[in-house]
Structure 1
Amino acid sequence: MKASLLATMLVAPSLGLASPAAATRMTSSYTSLTVFGDSLVDAGNIYALTGGQMPSPAAGYFQGRFTNGYDYTDLLSIDLFGRPTTASLLGGRNFAFGGARIVDNGDIVPDLSRQIDLYEVALGRTADGNGLYVLNAGGNDVFGAIAGTIGGADPQRYLQDAASQYAASVQRLDGLGVRNILITDFPVATAGAINTQANAYLDAALGDLKLSSDTTLYRFSFTDFFNQLSVDPGRFGLPALDLTTTCQAAGAAAIASGCAGYFSFDGTHPTAAVQRAAYQEMNRQFALAVPEPTSWMLMLTGFALVGMAARRRGRGVLRLA
């Protein structure tokens, strides 16, 4: 696709958010969800750019996602708003693109900084102070550094720069009035020492941030999660996992079964079941999907009615006896 056509498609409609002056969170539940990142959370931007050719539904990919079901940001959106995230090219707030990196390499795929540029253009430099913003990137930077395709002769210097730019994206969003940010680490646990070093750079860069006093930064470690999952999947409600064979390689029957028992869908992306387990762990750590006060009241009222009904049934049994 030519760059001019891409530029035309990448201008998303205005979403009418609150101004930074009203950026203090005033609700118990998030009022919007905005996503930046790579294929782990792409809700269909690459699918839209390629006219539905990639990721291919014929290979088992689900509705433009790079796995066999919804990703963790979709599941969060469903819990918060009753619907999955929508790709920015389709008018939504998910600006993630498969293949994106933190460090912009100038290709046609919008990397992290350009995704935030698109957000600013589409929204007129406004932010929802009651919204949650997700940054999920770094995997492609690590893959490229390992393969020697980026970073040149000094991949460590490259990853240090990637970590600095990743943290700078948090600072940039804070400056726009964003007050609730979830950032994931460099997630390639199988990369070993190089991934560990990249996350050490990220820890240092995040530690140097000067965020607004009312900004909350949630940090989720996919590296830790994947390591724990490989040792004890039952802890996350999953059966024993095949960590070597992909669901795609196992064939159509495995895909039709929902990839039960497989960690990886295609050798790069985790299955939808692993995505769900990650979401549940995030929600356990950060309580991301908190019902609105009215929902709590409805739940409490429901519990009270159930209790009253149980007591009445109990008294009825006693009288009958």
Structure 2
Amino acid sequence: MIRNILLAGVTAMLPTLGSAGPIGPFSDLVVFGDSLSDPGNIFASTLGTIPDPTLYPDGQFTNGDTWASQLGANFTSGTNFAFGGARAVANPEPAGGDTDDNTDNIPDFAAQRTLFGLQSPSLGPNPLTAVWFGGNDLRAGLTDPANLGAVISTAVTEIVTGVGDLLSRGLTDILVFGLPNLGRIPEVTSLDAFLAVSGQANPGDTIAGATFATQGFNAALQGALSTLPPLGNVQFLDTFALFEDILADADALGFTNTTDACILSLADPTDCTTDQGFVFHDSIHPTEKAHALIAQEVRAVVVPLPAGGLLLLTALGGFALLRRRT
């Protein structure tokens, strides 16, 4: 039983993606995820209070549109079930293992799939499904190193089980996102500096631990996805490599700050609602400009690169063409 206040009316809130011509063979975009993909579902369900609209102007956890909202314009239709704060594993996981339970009132992956079933969206013949979970699970796990391995294992199991469930429901083209390097986000780098100054840890230890955990999560997820039955096409998006390359090529991409959170750096944080050259809008979320590069990468990954696509990619400094591929 899903115990949250959102289910009664949430299917009316979930946005239908706009139409501007499909990507390749795909007719629709269906998204499951957390704040990195949330198009405003938490904002709507909290009556416009979360996130703070003075700092997050479009009700999304960035200074504009997430990658999913930007990419959605390329599809004829679709639905986004992502909610800020969502985890792969329901929070907290009940003792009985009922992952549909959700005591923080945020639909996690299992609950989002339930919403998908309740809404039964009308989709075209070839929907593309995007799944991006694990960031909130891993961030919570980093606070309890003794149980971090179990957190990673359980989260990966939930994601792969969920992907298998979506395959069985007929969503047969699924793009699963790995995690970007949590050792790079301001939340972790600032904690590393604090612990080092206070003598509680050596400089760099917290960053190294977060990086190692992210790599372990991604390796486990990619390996587990390979065990799914051949019911469709499942592709893993290496967002770790993507973000490393964004940071390495920051100057060419027009970024002037790759380490700090914009809203914690400027005298007037509301100035961050426009592009200020930051990669990070807050301590964990990318800016709209960084999200645009994620959307661009998805376009490059899910379809062969046509001439028009080449022009789009090179318009952003040739980034996608120069990126390392794994």
CA distance in 2, matches of 1:241, 1:13: 35
Q: Assess, with a 3 A threshold, how the Cα gap between structure 1 residues 279 and 137 changes in structure 2: closer, same or farther.
A: same
Stretches of structure 2 that go unaligned for 5 or more consecutive residues are 16-22, 92-101, 184-209, 309-326
SS in 2 for 1:93: strand
CA distance in 1, matches of 2:279, 2:46: 27
CA distance in 1, matches of 2:14, 2:248: 45
**1:185-230 deviation digits (Å, cap 9, x = unpaired):** 1334312111111112112211111132xx2223212211111111
Which residue does the alignment assign to 2:39?
Answer: 43
CA distance in 2, matches of 1:207, 1:253: 44
1:209 aligns with 2:228: yes
CA distance in 1, matches of 2:66, 2:28: 17
Letter aligned with residue 129 of structure 2? Y
Which residue does the alignment assign to 1:185?
Answer: 178
Which residue does the alignment assign to 1:222?
Answer: 239
1:157 aligns with 2:150: yes
Which residue does the alignment assign to 1:113?
Answer: 110
Which residue does the alignment assign to 1:7?
Answer: 7
Q: Assess, with a 3 A threshold, how the Cα gap between structure 1 residues 174 and 255 changes in structure 2: closer, same or farther.
A: same
CA distance in 2, matches of 1:184, 1:219: 6
CA distance in 2, matches of 1:255, 1:288: 38
Which residue does the alignment assign to 1:73?
Answer: 68
Which residue does the alignment assign to 2:206?
Answer: none
1:137 aligns with 2:133: yes
Q: Assess, with a 3 A threshold, how the Cα gap between structure 1 residues 50 and 179 changes in structure 2: closer, same or farther.
A: same
CA distance in 2, matches of 1:98, 1:196: 23
SS in 1 for 2:74: helix
Q: Residue 32 of structure 1: CA displacement?
A: 1.5
CA distance in 2, matches of 1:127, 1:257: 34
CA distance in 2, matches of 1:180, 1:285: 12
Q: Assess, with a 3 A threshold, how the Cα gap between structure 1 residues 48 and 230 changes in structure 2: closer, same or farther.
A: same
CA distance in 2, matches of 1:199, 1:217: 15
Q: Assess, with a 3 A threshold, how the Cα gap between structure 1 residues 222 and 160 changes in structure 2: closer, same or farther.
A: same
Structure with greater helix share of residues: 1
SS in 1 for 2:166: helix
Structure with greater strand share of residues: 2
SS in 1 for 2:80: coil
Q: Residue 284 of structure 1: CA displacement?
A: 2.1
Structure exhibiting the larger radius of gyration computed from Cα positions:
1
Tell me the TM-score normalised to structure 2 length: 0.72
Which residue does the alignment assign to 1:195?
Answer: 214
Q: Residue 247 of structure 1: CA displacement?
A: 4.1
Tell me the TM-score normalised to structure 1 length: 0.73
In the alignment, is the contact (CA less than 8 A) between 1:247 and 1:265 conserved in 2? Answer: yes
Match of 1:268 among 265, 284, 297: 284
- Please give the root-mean-square deviation of Cα atoms over the aligned residues, in Å: 3.2
Q: How much identity, in percent, do the aligned residues show? A: 27
Q: Residue 128 of structure 1: CA displacement?
A: 4.8
Q: Residue 64 of structure 1: CA displacement?
A: 1.2
CA distance in 2, matches of 1:170, 1:290: 29
1:282 aligns with 2:298: yes
CA distance in 2, matches of 1:206, 1:256: 38
In the alignment, is the contact (CA less than 8 A) between 1:101 and 1:140 conserved in 2? Answer: yes
Which residue does the alignment assign to 2:20?
Answer: none
Which residue does the alignment assign to 1:303?
Answer: none
Q: Residue 56 of structure 1: CA displacement?
A: 1.3
Q: Assess, with a 3 A threshold, how the Cα gap between structure 1 residues 230 and 256 changes in structure 2: closer, same or farther.
A: closer
Letter aligned with residue 79 of structure 1? N
In the alignment, is the contact (CA less than 8 A) between 1:127 and 1:177 conserved in 2? Answer: no
SS in 2 for 1:243: strand
SS in 2 for 1:36: strand
